[in-house]
Amino acid sequence: MKLEENYSLLKHNTFGMDVRARYFVEYQSVSELIELLQSDIIKQHSLLAIGGGSNLLFTKNFDGVVLHSKICFYETTRETDEHVYLRVGSGVVWDDFCAVMASRGLGGAENLSYIPGEVGASAVQNIGAYGVEVADIISRVETVEISTGKIRLFGVSECEYGYRESIFKAALKNHYLVTAVEFRLDKMPQFKLEYGNLSEAVASVEPLTVEEVRKAVIAIRKSKLPEPSEFGNAGSFFKNPLIAATQFNQLREQYPTMPHYVAGNELVKIPAAWLIEQCGWKGKTLGGAAVYEKQPLVLINKDHAKPEHIRLLAAAICESVADKFGITIEPEVNYI
């Protein structure tokens, strides 16, 4: 186990905020974690579990214990004619998992390639891209309860998955730590290419393999999203808002080109990127923070941004979208 005091979190958040944690602990196994949860240091401080730090904004130093899983393993648990079930440690880097699946020709994770972060956090955040959410391929989530140190397994239906939502972010927030995730992968992949320009990107590829779809997804992501090594960022800063169909119909009279996706239940999803662009935010800066030129849903640390710059910029964007369209957009990124 690794325990550090007054530890810089710079390498542990993709926004590149230079803040410190009072304590930082990494654990390599479930038994190490259970032992750790019984220690005074854990019982006496507030806790924050992080993965790759790719979906959070540290607003100040963290006066508690930051926990980071280094549980890294792959284990095939069972196999049917159609599927392979694979347990993966929560500390495995998400895209390493996607790469291993692609190299084995197992389908399901390819559309989620190149998303920053780690396996444990993927199951908390329900990461999604190109028409796929990680919930679609999860069969079980393995956790340890923080207050008791007891192991608890959640079947996928118990995880209450929704768009960027799970029980681990809502009713059970800060109650359980994910130690491993069991995925169900397809031996005979059925590719989902309807979203965006993915089908175009692979149109001339024959035969189409998991590896090829993965390559196309990576190329699209690289063309739209900034690398944290170039500009600190946390991917989409806001969620795409869901509005009532009645509100959408009124707005469409004024903005006939407003892009939208019917989301069922009389709800319509509007791309926040479009709303933000219409409000004139593309490329705008505030202190060291900026709205990314190629994808305004992404806020970047352009030049030594302070947390406050990002926060003020995000708040100003929300306000102007609300003023212009009467739509509330909410951060997807967690403020700590």
Kindly list the residues in this chain that would bind ligand EPU in the complex (CB under 6 A): 129-130, 195-196, 224-225, 235-236, 239-240, 259, 271, 273-274, 277, 295-297, 332
Question: Whose Cβ is closer to ligand EPU: residue 150's or residue 222's?
Answer: 222
Question: At closest approach, how far in Å is the CB of 204 from ligand EPU?
Answer: 21
Question: Whose Cβ is closer to ligand EPU: residue 195's or residue 335's?
Answer: 195
Contact in structure between 133 and 126 (CB atoms under 8 Å): yes
Report the alpha-carbon distance of residue 240 to residue 256 in Å, rounded.
19
Question: Where are any strands of DSSP class E within 108-163?
Answer: 128-129, 132-133, 138-145, 151-155
Active site residues: 164, 236, 332
Other residues' Cβ atoms within 10 Å of the Cβ of residue 218: 16
Question: At closest approach, how far in Å is the CB of 61 from ligand EPU?
Answer: 25
Run of H or E residues at 324: helix 307-325
Report the alpha-carbon distance of residue 11 to residue 2 in Å, rounded.
16
Report the alpha-carbon distance of residue 26 to residue 119 in Å, rounded.
15
Question: Whose Cβ is closer to ligand EPU: residue 115's or residue 141's?
Answer: 115
User: Using CB atoms, what's the residue nearest to ligand EPU?
Assistant: 235
Question: At closest approach, how far in Å is the CB of 287 from ligand EPU?
Answer: 22
Question: At closest approach, how far in Å is the CB of 148 from ligand EPU?
Answer: 32
Question: Whose Cβ is closer to ligand EPU: residue 112's or residue 144's?
Answer: 112
Contact in structure between 21 and 62 (CB atoms under 8 Å): yes
